[in-house]
Amino acid sequence: MSNNRFRARRHLARAQARRTLPREGMSRRNLMRALGLAGSAAFLPSLAPRTGRTAMGAPKRLLMIVTSHGTVYDNWKMRPQGQDEVSDWEFDLTGLAPEEFSTILAPFHAVRDRTLILDGLAACPIGVAGINEHEAGHVAALTGTIGQEVENALAVATGPSIDQIISQGIATAGQYPSLEYSVGGWPVSFDNLGQPIPYEVDVFEAYNRLFPGGADPEAIPTEADRIRAAQPSVLDLVGDQYDAMVPKLSGEDRIKLEQHRDLIRALELQLDGLAAIECDAPEPPSGLPDWATAEYPLEMIQAYLNIAKIALSCNLAPVITLRADTMFNATLGAPAGDIHNDFAHGVEDSDEAKQVMTAYHRFHAAWIAQLIDELAATPDLDGSLLDDTVVVWANELSSGSHDFKRWPVVIAGGDSHFSLGRWVRWAPTDVLAGAWSSHDIGPAHNKLLVSLAQAYGLNIDSVGATSMPAAGGGSIDCTGALDRLTS
């Protein structure tokens, strides 16, 4: 067994259990937390508070992915039964044949039962900001706020992004609250003051931050490794408190607690094998292609994803955001021309531009679908890594022409909360008074951000702006959760 084997699950559980132990006694809540019972399927009704909610079944991790230039809507949308454009509807993805998927979303056919595709949302803050839509979109995408122009700098937000809101709600001591990685692109994560959170743009630094000892079996253990190795069993830490708690339980709850105790003991004895599969430090990135080569964008994305998957499976961080923007013509087999200015901006007028950007968005769909499949195949203590992870693919815009309506979103995982295997469509119902013109829009994407927060048990009803100006006066409500996401 290597000295630096990365057994983060066991070490983290022990460290957290030690931190929950007060000097005198232990509360029922802390005992449950130390035993790993808080918010779990082994919840004990007789110990439940009389008021408040529990996050039973809530996902434990979030992986946000943000790409650029929206989509090519005609090659993204799916209307297998010729559905109309003026009403709300949904359909089951699982029964569709591969040829019934759109060109851009075709890679998701293989994971269609684990996917929820949202059609018709509007990233309204982009439309009312009155600044460059790319700047406004980077701010609005995850914060739901209206971008604030800054002289000689990128626009800033007026509040935190959803990844940070969720991180603050679910991160525990001993974890990195969140990790932010970038393969090109402006920041989309913002702190509580609305300031952009710097991304890690060096994949080697990203690796070294999480695995300072590397993957060398002969590496000398760090001080942190020695401390972790010396920590006792979770059950040893709470043994006396467990014995004192059992007589207070009902017969049914006593059986549940004893069964869970036995399960924890069994897991502690067996965890070495699971940790060796999932939590060994991976080899550091190597053999990465040179900048501007056709292979560079995908290889860099995969390098970050390899680190992210280990970080999630080992509970090193509950929230990870990946910004993916860098793209080269050779990657897409595109003709000469600038991806942004010539092709993304030309999708409304040029068939060639439309073809190039369709390839651009399908490129991202392919690796995201593969990621979903890999997470589903990665074992976790209570199923697969995807079961307890919500993957969200969002965008800084809705199209290369700077539109913000019909904002494309794909959600995967978190199947204990979201009803997957569906396409859900919302029709335009409001008219937004934009900075330069009026727009027919569907629900504000702020509602999706609220839904994500609530999926993690957070008791909030708004993210970012609470309303938007309506054409002709009045306002459009941006609060509350989005309907039809859960079963």
Give 108-138 pLDDT, tens digit per residue. 999 999 999 999 999 999 999 999 999 999 9
Question: Above 50 in pLDDT, residue 8?
Answer: no
What's the pLDDT at 429? Answer: 97
Percent residues over pLDDT 70 in the chain? 78
Give 229-240 pLDDT, tens digit per residue. 555 555 565 566
Give the pLDDT band of residue 475 (cuts 50, 70, 90). very high
What's the pLDDT at 33? Answer: 42
At 180, which helix (H) or strand (E)? strand 179-183
Q: Average pLDDT, whole number, for the chain? A: 84
What's the pLDDT at 22? Answer: 34
What's the pLDDT at 49? Answer: 32
Least confident of 9-13, 78-82, 315-319, 399-403: 9-13
The answer to whether residues 201 and 282 touch, using CB atoms and an 8 Å cutoff, is no
Instruction: Output the CA angle 323-325-328, nearest 5 degrees.
Output: 150
Question: Above 90 in pLDDT, residue 253?
Answer: no
Instruction: Output the CA angle 118-119-123, nearest 5 degrees.
Output: 95
Mean pLDDT of 215-227: 55
The answer to whether residues 324 and 67 touch, using CB atoms and an 8 Å cutoff, is yes
- Cα separation of the two ends of the chain: 45
What's the pLDDT at 187? Answer: 97
Q: Tokens representing 168?
A: 């603050």
Beta bridge partners of 9: none
What's the pLDDT at 6? Answer: 39
Residue ranges of domains in the chain? 1-48+217-279, 59-215+289-477
CATH number corresponding to 59-215+289-477: 3.40.720
Whole-angstrom Cα distance, residue 357 to residue 359?
Answer: 5
Give 334-361 pLDDT, tens digit per residue. 999 999 999 999 999 999 999 999 999 9
What's the pLDDT at 173? Answer: 81
The answer to whether residues 391 and 65 touch, using CB atoms and an 8 Å cutoff, is yes
Give 387-410 pLDDT, tens digit per residue. 999 999 999 999 999 999 999 999
What's the pLDDT at 274? Answer: 32
What's the pLDDT at 7? Answer: 39
